[in-house]
Amino acid sequence: MDEPIVCRCEEVTVSEVKRAIVEGYDTLEELKRHLRVGMGPCQGRTCLPLLAWILAQETGKSLKEVMVEVSVRPPLIPVPFELWREG
Ligand code: FES
């Protein structure tokens, strides 16, 4: 696959993102849910900014307008087992 990747965790390409926008998924939240971008182990640290940039370019919106539309959740962090023991 020689195509540029937007989300490495979910293996989503730039053309898949552009196609989804044409199909009507024109908010970050809709793109996330449709393509699973940002739902991999890294929780979108690198791909969500890229996705926002592509969406802004394709829709003519500003990056600020696009970013308002997304809910970002903090990444899961492993908790040491000792924290759960009593005493
Ligand atoms: S690169 Fe997209 S969730 Fe990790």
Listed residue (53, 51, 56, 59) closest to 6, CA to CA? 51
For 15, residues 6+ apart whose C-beta sits below 8 A from its C-beta are 3
pLDDT for residue 69: 61
Specify the pTM: 0.78
For 5-84, the fitting CATH number among 1.10.10.1100, 1.10.8.640, 3.90.550.10, 3.40.630.10 is 1.10.10.1100
Hey, where are the domains in the chain? 5-84
pLDDT tens across the length of the chain (87 residues): 589 999 999 999 999 999 999 999 999 999 999 999 999 998 888 899 999 999 999 999 999 998 876 666 665 777 777 877 766
Listed residue (2, 4, 87) closest to 53, CA to CA? 4
Mutate which of 45, 51, 72, 73 to test ligand 1's pocket (most atoms within 8 Å of Cβ)?
45
Ligand 1 close to Cβ of residue 75 (< 6 A):
no
